[in-house]
Amino acid sequence: MPKVVRFHRAGDADVLQIDEIPVPEAAAGEVVINVEAFGPNRAEIMFRSGEYPQYDSELPSTIGYEAAGTVASILSRQRFRSDLGLRKD
């Protein structure tokens, strides 16, 4: 099962935890990425600490929207350039 870094309540870095989630499936116009590295941005840190209002305040909240990885699946290649970001190894 994939692992994500989430928080279930506002607080300092101690509220972060690693949770396992079901394997996501791509919906129309989406891709699923196998994340190899991520970094929380300032807005995510402020949201986690309760200092930043966010339109989607449903908890638990996953952090790491700025990430790098490889494309695992695409629902439809018609909407994406197939050569972008693909490794040539």
At residue 22, the pLDDT reads 93
At residue 81, the pLDDT reads 58
CATH of the domain at 71: 3.90.180.10
At residue 88, the pLDDT reads 62
pLDDT digits (tens, 9 = 90+) for 23-72: 888 887 788 889 999 988 888 888 888 887 665 567 888 888 889 999 88
Show the CA angle centred on residue 79, arms to residues 77 and 85, nearest 5°: 65
Question: Which domain, by its residues, includes 43?
Answer: 3-79
- Structurally, the chain folds into a number of domains equal to 1
Residue at 61 is within a domain: yes
Average pLDDT estimate for 80-88: 60
The whole model's pTM is what?
Answer: 0.69
Residue at 27 is within a domain: yes
Residue at 18 is within a domain: yes
For the beta carbon of residue 63, count every other beta carbon within 10 angstroms: 20
